[in-house]
Structure 1
Amino acid sequence: MDFVGEIEKQASLLRSAALKAGPDAEVHTCPDWTVSKLVRHIAEVHTWAAQCVVTEPSSGRPEWPKAPRDWDEALAWWDTGLSTLLQRLREVPADRPAWTFQGPKVAGFWARRQAHETSIHRLDAELATGHELPSLVFDPEFAADGVDEMLTIMLPRQLVLGRTVEATGRILVHAADAGRTWEIWLAPGEQPVVTDVLDSAVDTDASLAGTADAVYRALWGRPHHAIVSGDESLLAALPRP
Protein backbone atom coordinates (compact mmCIF):
# COMPACT_ATOMS: atom_id res chain seq x y z
CA MET A 1 0.00 0.00 0.00
CA ASP A 2 1.42 3.39 -1.00
CA PHE A 3 0.96 5.27 2.25
CA VAL A 4 3.24 8.13 1.23
CA GLY A 5 1.23 8.70 -1.95
CA GLU A 6 -1.93 8.61 0.16
CA ILE A 7 -0.57 11.31 2.48
CA GLU A 8 0.22 13.51 -0.50
CA LYS A 9 -3.20 12.99 -2.11
CA GLN A 10 -5.25 13.42 1.06
CA ALA A 11 -3.27 16.48 2.17
CA SER A 12 -3.93 18.15 -1.17
CA LEU A 13 -7.66 17.42 -0.91
CA LEU A 14 -7.70 18.56 2.72
CA ARG A 15 -6.08 21.85 1.71
CA SER A 16 -8.62 22.40 -1.07
CA ALA A 17 -11.54 21.72 1.29
CA ALA A 18 -10.04 24.01 3.96
CA LEU A 19 -9.72 26.86 1.46
CA LYS A 20 -13.30 26.29 0.31
CA ALA A 21 -14.66 26.28 3.88
CA GLY A 22 -12.58 29.26 5.02
CA PRO A 23 -10.55 29.70 8.22
CA ASP A 24 -13.50 30.65 10.44
CA ALA A 25 -15.78 27.74 9.50
CA GLU A 26 -16.65 25.39 12.37
CA VAL A 27 -15.34 21.83 12.32
CA HIS A 28 -18.28 20.07 13.92
CA THR A 29 -16.48 16.70 14.06
CA CYS A 30 -13.75 18.27 16.23
CA PRO A 31 -15.58 20.22 18.97
CA ASP A 32 -14.47 23.83 19.44
CA TRP A 33 -12.26 23.73 16.34
CA THR A 34 -12.36 26.05 13.37
CA VAL A 35 -10.82 25.22 10.01
CA SER A 36 -7.93 27.49 10.98
CA LYS A 37 -7.31 25.31 14.05
CA LEU A 38 -7.59 22.17 11.91
CA VAL A 39 -4.99 23.48 9.47
CA ARG A 40 -2.63 24.45 12.28
CA HIS A 41 -3.08 21.01 13.85
CA ILE A 42 -2.32 19.03 10.70
CA ALA A 43 0.60 21.36 9.93
CA GLU A 44 2.05 20.70 13.37
CA VAL A 45 1.47 16.96 13.09
CA HIS A 46 3.16 16.73 9.69
CA THR A 47 6.11 18.86 10.82
CA TRP A 48 6.50 16.83 14.02
CA ALA A 49 6.21 13.49 12.20
CA ALA A 50 8.91 14.59 9.75
CA GLN A 51 11.22 15.06 12.73
CA CYS A 52 10.20 11.72 14.25
CA VAL A 53 11.19 9.91 11.04
CA VAL A 54 14.84 10.97 11.54
CA THR A 55 14.96 10.71 15.36
CA GLU A 56 16.59 7.68 16.96
CA PRO A 57 14.32 5.80 19.39
CA SER A 58 16.78 6.39 22.23
CA SER A 59 16.67 10.16 21.71
CA GLY A 60 13.14 10.45 23.06
CA ARG A 61 10.07 12.27 21.84
CA PRO A 62 10.84 15.25 19.55
CA GLU A 63 9.59 18.63 20.71
CA TRP A 64 6.15 19.57 19.44
CA PRO A 65 6.27 22.49 16.94
CA LYS A 66 3.85 25.42 16.89
CA ALA A 67 2.30 26.64 13.66
CA PRO A 68 1.75 30.37 13.03
CA ARG A 69 -1.74 31.61 13.91
CA ASP A 70 -2.05 33.75 10.80
CA TRP A 71 -4.03 31.85 8.13
CA ASP A 72 -1.73 32.49 5.17
CA GLU A 73 1.40 31.94 7.23
CA ALA A 74 0.00 28.69 8.62
CA LEU A 75 -0.75 27.40 5.13
CA ALA A 76 2.76 28.22 3.93
CA TRP A 77 4.28 26.67 7.09
CA TRP A 78 2.20 23.53 6.50
CA ASP A 79 3.38 23.31 2.88
CA THR A 80 6.99 23.30 4.10
CA GLY A 81 6.37 20.70 6.82
CA LEU A 82 4.42 18.43 4.50
CA SER A 83 7.09 18.65 1.81
CA THR A 84 9.75 17.69 4.35
CA LEU A 85 7.66 14.78 5.63
CA LEU A 86 7.05 13.38 2.15
CA GLN A 87 10.71 13.74 1.19
CA ARG A 88 11.96 12.00 4.32
CA LEU A 89 9.45 9.17 4.07
CA ARG A 90 10.58 8.55 0.50
CA GLU A 91 14.29 8.75 1.26
CA VAL A 92 14.59 7.08 4.68
CA PRO A 93 14.37 3.26 4.60
CA ALA A 94 11.10 2.10 6.15
CA ASP A 95 12.94 -0.28 8.48
CA ARG A 96 15.40 2.31 9.82
CA PRO A 97 15.01 2.76 13.60
CA ALA A 98 12.96 5.85 14.47
CA TRP A 99 11.12 7.24 17.48
CA THR A 100 7.44 6.30 17.59
CA PHE A 101 4.84 6.60 20.34
CA GLN A 102 3.48 3.09 19.84
CA GLY A 103 4.08 -0.01 17.80
CA PRO A 104 7.23 -0.70 15.77
CA LYS A 105 10.12 1.72 16.31
CA VAL A 106 10.83 2.20 12.60
CA ALA A 107 10.48 5.08 10.15
CA GLY A 108 7.79 3.29 8.13
CA PHE A 109 5.41 3.58 11.09
CA TRP A 110 5.01 7.26 10.24
CA ALA A 111 3.91 6.67 6.65
CA ARG A 112 0.95 4.60 7.80
CA ARG A 113 0.14 6.83 10.79
CA GLN A 114 0.15 10.03 8.75
CA ALA A 115 -1.82 8.51 5.89
CA HIS A 116 -4.72 7.85 8.26
CA GLU A 117 -4.27 11.05 10.27
CA THR A 118 -4.45 13.08 7.08
CA SER A 119 -7.38 11.13 5.64
CA ILE A 120 -9.56 11.53 8.72
CA HIS A 121 -8.83 15.24 8.93
CA ARG A 122 -9.48 15.58 5.22
CA LEU A 123 -12.94 14.21 6.02
CA ASP A 124 -13.28 16.84 8.77
CA ALA A 125 -12.39 19.60 6.32
CA GLU A 126 -14.88 18.30 3.76
CA LEU A 127 -17.63 18.25 6.39
CA ALA A 128 -16.73 21.81 7.37
CA THR A 129 -17.66 22.96 3.86
CA GLY A 130 -21.29 22.24 4.75
CA HIS A 131 -21.83 18.75 3.34
CA GLU A 132 -23.55 16.42 5.80
CA LEU A 133 -21.70 13.43 4.37
CA PRO A 134 -19.13 14.10 1.66
CA SER A 135 -19.38 11.99 -1.46
CA LEU A 136 -15.84 10.75 -0.87
CA VAL A 137 -15.53 7.04 -0.09
CA PHE A 138 -12.20 5.67 1.08
CA ASP A 139 -10.82 2.65 -0.78
CA PRO A 140 -11.88 -0.57 1.02
CA GLU A 141 -8.33 -1.88 1.47
CA PHE A 142 -7.09 1.47 2.78
CA ALA A 143 -10.09 1.96 5.06
CA ALA A 144 -9.75 -1.57 6.46
CA ASP A 145 -6.11 -0.85 7.20
CA GLY A 146 -7.28 2.27 9.01
CA VAL A 147 -9.62 0.15 11.10
CA ASP A 148 -6.74 -2.16 11.96
CA GLU A 149 -4.48 0.78 12.82
CA MET A 150 -7.12 2.26 15.08
CA LEU A 151 -7.66 -1.02 16.93
CA THR A 152 -4.03 -2.13 17.23
CA ILE A 153 -2.14 1.19 17.51
CA MET A 154 -4.39 4.10 18.45
CA LEU A 155 -6.64 2.25 20.92
CA PRO A 156 -3.73 0.91 22.99
CA ARG A 157 -2.17 4.39 22.83
CA GLN A 158 -5.20 5.88 24.59
CA LEU A 159 -4.71 3.49 27.47
CA VAL A 160 -1.04 4.45 27.74
CA LEU A 161 -2.24 8.04 28.05
CA GLY A 162 -4.43 7.05 30.98
CA ARG A 163 -7.84 6.66 29.34
CA THR A 164 -9.08 3.41 30.86
CA VAL A 165 -11.73 0.98 29.67
CA GLU A 166 -14.55 0.45 32.15
CA ALA A 167 -16.51 -2.27 30.38
CA THR A 168 -16.57 -6.03 29.99
CA GLY A 169 -17.51 -7.84 26.82
CA ARG A 170 -16.66 -8.84 23.29
CA ILE A 171 -17.09 -6.68 20.20
CA LEU A 172 -17.07 -7.86 16.59
CA VAL A 173 -15.92 -5.36 13.96
CA HIS A 174 -16.65 -6.41 10.38
CA ALA A 175 -15.56 -4.55 7.22
CA ALA A 176 -17.61 -6.50 4.72
CA ASP A 177 -16.28 -5.29 1.38
CA ALA A 178 -12.68 -5.71 2.53
CA GLY A 179 -13.33 -9.20 3.88
CA ARG A 180 -11.80 -8.38 7.26
CA THR A 181 -13.11 -9.02 10.76
CA TRP A 182 -11.71 -8.22 14.20
CA GLU A 183 -12.76 -9.32 17.67
CA ILE A 184 -12.12 -7.06 20.67
CA TRP A 185 -12.12 -8.37 24.23
CA LEU A 186 -12.72 -5.71 26.86
CA ALA A 187 -12.13 -5.94 30.61
CA PRO A 188 -12.08 -3.06 33.11
CA GLY A 189 -8.65 -1.51 33.51
CA GLU A 190 -7.01 -3.93 31.08
CA GLN A 191 -5.56 -3.56 27.61
CA PRO A 192 -8.16 -4.59 24.99
CA VAL A 193 -7.21 -7.79 23.19
CA VAL A 194 -7.70 -7.41 19.43
CA THR A 195 -7.51 -10.38 17.08
CA ASP A 196 -8.23 -10.95 13.41
CA VAL A 197 -10.93 -13.58 12.96
CA LEU A 198 -12.10 -15.44 9.89
CA ASP A 199 -15.77 -15.88 10.78
CA SER A 200 -17.96 -12.78 11.02
CA ALA A 201 -20.78 -14.90 12.49
CA VAL A 202 -19.09 -15.52 15.84
CA ASP A 203 -21.17 -14.80 18.93
CA THR A 204 -20.27 -11.51 20.61
CA ASP A 205 -21.93 -8.94 22.87
CA ALA A 206 -21.89 -6.13 20.30
CA SER A 207 -20.98 -5.61 16.68
CA LEU A 208 -20.03 -2.84 14.30
CA ALA A 209 -20.48 -3.80 10.66
CA GLY A 210 -20.66 -2.24 7.22
CA THR A 211 -18.36 -1.23 4.43
CA ALA A 212 -14.74 -0.65 5.42
CA ASP A 213 -15.30 3.07 4.77
CA ALA A 214 -18.29 3.17 7.15
CA VAL A 215 -16.53 1.23 9.91
CA TYR A 216 -13.40 3.37 9.53
CA ARG A 217 -15.47 6.53 10.04
CA ALA A 218 -17.40 5.03 12.94
CA LEU A 219 -14.32 4.05 14.91
CA TRP A 220 -12.94 7.56 14.47
CA GLY A 221 -16.23 9.04 15.70
CA ARG A 222 -17.19 10.58 12.36
CA PRO A 223 -20.61 10.46 10.61
CA HIS A 224 -21.12 7.00 9.15
CA HIS A 225 -23.58 4.40 7.88
CA ALA A 226 -22.20 1.41 9.77
CA ILE A 227 -24.63 -0.83 11.63
CA VAL A 228 -24.31 -1.13 15.40
CA SER A 229 -26.03 -4.02 17.14
CA GLY A 230 -26.01 -5.58 20.58
CA ASP A 231 -24.69 -3.71 23.61
CA GLU A 232 -23.91 -0.27 22.23
CA SER A 233 -22.31 0.78 25.52
CA LEU A 234 -19.35 -1.46 24.71
CA LEU A 235 -18.59 0.49 21.57
CA ALA A 236 -19.07 3.75 23.45
CA ALA A 237 -16.49 2.52 26.00
CA LEU A 238 -13.73 2.37 23.41
CA PRO A 239 -11.44 5.37 24.01
CA ARG A 240 -10.80 7.39 20.85
CA PRO A 241 -8.08 9.92 20.05
Structure 2
Amino acid sequence: MPTCPNWTVGRLVRHLAAVHSWVLACIADPHGTETRGERAPKEWDELLPWWDERRKELRAAFDRGADTPAQVPFGFYEANLGSWARRQAHEAAIHRIDVELAAGAEPTTFDTAFATDGADEALSMILHRRTADWSAVEAAGTVLVHAEDARTLWSLTLTPGERPTLGGPAEPDVTLSGDADAVYKRLWRRPANVSITGEQTLLDVLETP
Protein backbone atom coordinates (compact mmCIF):
# COMPACT_ATOMS: atom_id res chain seq x y z
CA MET A 1 0.00 0.00 0.00
CA PRO A 2 1.54 3.35 -1.02
CA THR A 3 0.71 5.15 2.24
CA CYS A 4 1.29 2.17 4.57
CA PRO A 5 4.56 0.53 3.50
CA ASN A 6 4.70 -3.25 4.04
CA TRP A 7 0.95 -3.41 4.67
CA THR A 8 -1.67 -5.09 2.52
CA VAL A 9 -5.36 -4.20 2.47
CA GLY A 10 -5.97 -7.41 4.41
CA ARG A 11 -3.55 -6.37 7.14
CA LEU A 12 -5.12 -2.92 7.34
CA VAL A 13 -8.62 -4.38 7.70
CA ARG A 14 -7.37 -6.76 10.40
CA HIS A 15 -5.79 -3.79 12.18
CA LEU A 16 -9.07 -1.85 12.19
CA ALA A 17 -11.03 -4.91 13.30
CA ALA A 18 -8.60 -5.50 16.19
CA VAL A 19 -8.74 -1.84 17.22
CA HIS A 20 -12.54 -1.90 17.28
CA SER A 21 -12.46 -5.05 19.39
CA TRP A 22 -10.02 -3.41 21.81
CA VAL A 23 -12.18 -0.28 22.09
CA LEU A 24 -15.21 -2.42 22.87
CA ALA A 25 -13.25 -4.07 25.68
CA CYS A 26 -12.25 -0.65 27.04
CA ILE A 27 -15.90 0.42 27.00
CA ALA A 28 -17.00 -2.77 28.76
CA ASP A 29 -14.40 -2.22 31.54
CA PRO A 30 -14.37 1.58 32.02
CA HIS A 31 -12.18 1.53 35.13
CA GLY A 32 -9.77 -1.22 34.11
CA THR A 33 -6.21 -1.01 32.85
CA GLU A 34 -4.29 -2.74 30.06
CA THR A 35 -7.47 -4.16 28.57
CA ARG A 36 -7.21 -6.28 25.45
CA GLY A 37 -9.84 -7.16 22.90
CA GLU A 38 -10.45 -10.41 21.06
CA ARG A 39 -8.01 -11.38 18.33
CA ALA A 40 -9.26 -10.73 14.84
CA PRO A 41 -9.37 -13.74 12.47
CA LYS A 42 -6.56 -13.97 9.93
CA GLU A 43 -8.52 -15.48 7.06
CA TRP A 44 -10.26 -12.91 4.84
CA ASP A 45 -13.58 -14.78 4.61
CA GLU A 46 -13.79 -14.91 8.40
CA LEU A 47 -12.32 -11.46 9.00
CA LEU A 48 -14.89 -9.38 7.11
CA PRO A 49 -18.04 -10.64 8.90
CA TRP A 50 -16.20 -10.60 12.24
CA TRP A 51 -15.18 -6.97 11.72
CA ASP A 52 -18.71 -6.06 10.62
CA GLU A 53 -20.07 -7.39 13.90
CA ARG A 54 -17.51 -5.41 15.93
CA ARG A 55 -18.35 -2.29 13.92
CA LYS A 56 -22.09 -2.69 14.65
CA GLU A 57 -21.39 -3.28 18.34
CA LEU A 58 -19.23 -0.17 18.50
CA ARG A 59 -21.85 2.01 16.82
CA ALA A 60 -24.43 0.73 19.30
CA ALA A 61 -22.09 1.45 22.22
CA PHE A 62 -21.61 5.04 21.09
CA ASP A 63 -25.39 5.53 21.23
CA ARG A 64 -25.13 5.46 25.05
CA GLY A 65 -23.92 9.06 25.01
CA ALA A 66 -20.64 10.92 24.80
CA ASP A 67 -20.28 11.38 28.58
CA THR A 68 -20.55 7.65 29.35
CA PRO A 69 -17.36 6.56 31.18
CA ALA A 70 -14.90 4.41 29.25
CA GLN A 71 -11.33 3.36 29.68
CA VAL A 72 -9.16 5.60 27.46
CA PRO A 73 -5.46 4.82 27.94
CA PHE A 74 -4.22 8.03 26.30
CA GLY A 75 -3.23 11.21 28.03
CA PHE A 76 -5.01 14.43 27.02
CA TYR A 77 -8.29 12.57 26.28
CA GLU A 78 -11.27 12.47 28.61
CA ALA A 79 -12.17 8.95 29.75
CA ASN A 80 -15.52 8.69 28.02
CA LEU A 81 -17.26 7.46 24.88
CA GLY A 82 -17.00 10.88 23.24
CA SER A 83 -13.22 10.54 23.12
CA TRP A 84 -13.44 7.09 21.58
CA ALA A 85 -16.02 8.19 19.02
CA ARG A 86 -13.74 11.00 17.89
CA ARG A 87 -10.63 8.80 17.80
CA GLN A 88 -12.30 5.98 15.89
CA ALA A 89 -13.94 8.32 13.38
CA HIS A 90 -10.55 9.67 12.35
CA GLU A 91 -8.84 6.27 12.57
CA ALA A 92 -11.34 4.89 10.06
CA ALA A 93 -11.29 8.01 7.86
CA ILE A 94 -7.52 8.08 7.40
CA HIS A 95 -7.32 4.35 6.71
CA ARG A 96 -10.17 4.70 4.23
CA ILE A 97 -7.87 6.98 2.24
CA ASP A 98 -5.16 4.31 2.37
CA VAL A 99 -7.45 1.70 0.84
CA GLU A 100 -8.75 4.11 -1.80
CA LEU A 101 -5.21 4.98 -2.88
CA ALA A 102 -4.25 1.31 -2.93
CA ALA A 103 -7.22 0.64 -5.22
CA GLY A 104 -6.29 3.52 -7.52
CA ALA A 105 -9.45 5.42 -6.60
CA GLU A 106 -9.85 9.12 -5.92
CA PRO A 107 -9.53 9.71 -2.16
CA THR A 108 -12.60 10.83 -0.27
CA THR A 109 -12.95 14.56 0.31
CA PHE A 110 -14.09 15.12 3.89
CA ASP A 111 -16.45 17.93 4.80
CA THR A 112 -15.01 21.04 6.38
CA ALA A 113 -16.26 20.44 9.94
CA PHE A 114 -15.02 16.84 10.08
CA ALA A 115 -11.65 17.65 8.53
CA THR A 116 -11.15 20.61 10.87
CA ASP A 117 -11.87 18.37 13.85
CA GLY A 118 -9.35 15.84 12.54
CA ALA A 119 -6.69 18.50 12.17
CA ASP A 120 -7.44 19.76 15.66
CA GLU A 121 -7.18 16.25 17.11
CA ALA A 122 -3.83 15.76 15.42
CA LEU A 123 -2.43 19.02 16.81
CA SER A 124 -4.02 19.10 20.25
CA MET A 125 -4.12 15.39 21.14
CA ILE A 126 -2.22 12.96 18.92
CA LEU A 127 0.90 15.13 18.72
CA HIS A 128 1.28 15.06 22.50
CA ARG A 129 1.24 11.27 22.71
CA ARG A 130 3.61 10.85 19.78
CA THR A 131 6.49 10.35 22.20
CA ALA A 132 6.87 10.31 25.96
CA ASP A 133 10.37 11.79 25.73
CA TRP A 134 10.88 15.02 23.81
CA SER A 135 14.40 15.62 25.10
CA ALA A 136 16.03 14.64 21.80
CA VAL A 137 13.81 16.92 19.68
CA GLU A 138 15.85 19.97 18.65
CA ALA A 139 13.31 21.90 16.58
CA ALA A 140 12.73 25.52 17.55
CA GLY A 141 10.33 28.02 16.04
CA THR A 142 6.68 28.84 15.49
CA VAL A 143 4.34 26.93 13.19
CA LEU A 144 1.08 28.32 11.86
CA VAL A 145 -1.52 25.89 10.49
CA HIS A 146 -4.41 27.47 8.61
CA ALA A 147 -7.57 25.67 7.48
CA GLU A 148 -8.72 28.40 5.13
CA ASP A 149 -12.30 27.35 4.43
CA ALA A 150 -12.91 26.78 8.14
CA ARG A 151 -11.29 30.11 9.03
CA THR A 152 -9.37 28.25 11.72
CA LEU A 153 -5.79 28.83 12.83
CA TRP A 154 -3.49 26.82 15.07
CA SER A 155 -0.25 28.39 16.28
CA LEU A 156 2.35 26.07 17.82
CA THR A 157 5.59 26.97 19.54
CA LEU A 158 8.45 24.49 19.23
CA THR A 159 11.11 24.60 21.97
CA PRO A 160 14.09 22.19 21.99
CA GLY A 161 13.55 19.29 24.38
CA GLU A 162 9.92 20.19 25.13
CA ARG A 163 6.46 19.28 23.90
CA PRO A 164 5.04 21.67 21.29
CA THR A 165 2.57 24.11 22.81
CA LEU A 166 -0.55 25.62 21.29
CA GLY A 167 -0.95 29.33 21.80
CA GLY A 168 -2.08 32.60 20.33
CA PRO A 169 -1.06 33.89 16.90
CA ALA A 170 2.63 34.69 16.49
CA GLU A 171 4.97 35.48 13.63
CA PRO A 172 5.45 32.03 12.06
CA ASP A 173 8.67 30.43 10.89
CA VAL A 174 6.61 28.14 8.68
CA THR A 175 2.98 28.21 7.55
CA LEU A 176 0.96 25.21 6.41
CA SER A 177 -2.27 26.27 4.72
CA GLY A 178 -5.03 24.93 2.51
CA ASP A 179 -8.62 23.87 2.80
CA ALA A 180 -9.48 21.82 5.88
CA ASP A 181 -9.56 18.53 3.98
CA ALA A 182 -6.04 19.07 2.65
CA VAL A 183 -4.62 20.25 5.97
CA TYR A 184 -6.19 17.24 7.73
CA LYS A 185 -4.64 14.81 5.28
CA ARG A 186 -1.22 16.49 5.34
CA LEU A 187 -1.04 16.38 9.12
CA TRP A 188 -1.74 12.64 8.92
CA ARG A 189 0.99 12.22 6.25
CA ARG A 190 -1.40 11.49 3.39
CA PRO A 191 -1.18 13.14 -0.06
CA ALA A 192 -2.69 16.62 -0.02
CA ASN A 193 -2.60 19.85 -1.98
CA VAL A 194 -1.37 22.34 0.61
CA SER A 195 0.77 25.45 0.60
CA ILE A 196 3.91 25.52 2.73
CA THR A 197 6.00 28.64 3.19
CA GLY A 198 9.02 29.00 5.45
CA GLU A 199 11.15 26.43 7.26
CA GLN A 200 9.46 23.22 6.11
CA THR A 201 11.57 20.93 8.33
CA LEU A 202 9.72 22.28 11.38
CA LEU A 203 6.63 20.44 10.15
CA ASP A 204 8.37 17.10 10.71
CA VAL A 205 7.73 17.50 14.44
CA LEU A 206 3.97 17.77 13.80
CA GLU A 207 3.61 14.58 11.79
CA THR A 208 1.35 12.03 13.38
CA PRO A 209 2.42 8.43 14.06
Smaller-chain TM-score bracket:
over 0.9
Alignment of 1:130-209 (within 5 A): 130-131=104-105, 134-160=106-132, 165-195=137-167, 197=168, 202-209=170-177
SS in 2 for 1:177: coil
Give the structure with the larger helix fraction.
1
The match for 2:57 is 84
How many pairs were matched up? 207
Q: Which runs of 4+ in 1 moved over 6 A?
A: none
Alignment of 1:104-119 (within 5 A): 104-119=78-93
Q: Judging changes above 3 Å, is the alpha-carbon distance between structure 1 residues 116 and 74 closer, same or farther for their aligned structure 2 residues?
A: same
Contact preservation (8 Å) 1:166, 1:237: no
The match for 1:69 is 42
Structure 2, unaligned stretches of length 5 or more? none
TM-score (norm 2): 0.92
In the alignment, the residues of structure 2 paired with residue 183 and residue 125 of structure 1 have an alpha-carbon distance, to the nearest angstrom, of: 32
TM-score (norm 1): 0.80
In the alignment, the residues of structure 2 paired with residue 238 and residue 212 of structure 1 have an alpha-carbon distance, to the nearest angstrom, of: 16
Q: Percent identity?
A: 44
Contact preservation (8 Å) 1:47, 1:84: no
In the alignment, the residues of structure 1 paired with residue 153 and residue 50 of structure 2 have an alpha-carbon distance, to the nearest angstrom, of: 40
Contact preservation (8 Å) 2:134, 2:163: no
- Measured on the aligned residues, the alpha-carbon RMSD in Å equals 1.8
In the TM superposition, residue 239 of structure 1 has moved relative to its aligned partner by 4.4
SS in 1 for 2:125: helix
Q: Of the two structures, which has the highest relative contact order with CA contacts closer than 8 Å and spacing of 6 or more?
A: 1
